[in-house]
Chain A
Amino acid sequence: NAGVMQNPRHLVRRRGQEARLRCSPMKGHSHVYWYRQLPEEGLKFMVYLQKENIIDESGMPKERFSAEFPKEGPSILRIQQVVRGDSAAYFCASSPPSGVPNTEAFFGQGTRLTVV
Chain B
Amino acid sequence: QQQVKQSPQSLIVQKGGISIINCAYENTAFDYFPWYQQFPGKGPALLIAIRPDVSEKKEGRFTISFNKSAKQFSLHIMDSQPGDSATYFCAASIYSNYQLIWGAGTKLIIKP
Contact = CB atoms under 8 A, between A and B. Distances in A.
Contacts of A56: 98-99
Interface string B70-111: 000000000000000000010101011111101111000000
Contact of A100 (B43, B44, B95, B104): B95
B62 interface: no
A42 B45 contact: no
Interface string A48-92: 100000001001000000000000000000000000000000010
B105 A107 contact: no
Contacts, number: 59
A102 B44 contact: no
A42 B41 CA distance: 15
A40 B9 CA distance: 9
Given A100-B95, A101-B98, A103-B49, A41 B41 contact: no
Interface of B: 4, 6, 9, 32, 34, 41-46, 49, 89, 91, 93, 95-100, 102-105
Given A41-B105, A45-B100, A103-B46, 7 more contacts: A33-B98, A40-B104, A42-B4, A100-B95, A102-B32, A109-B43, A110-B43
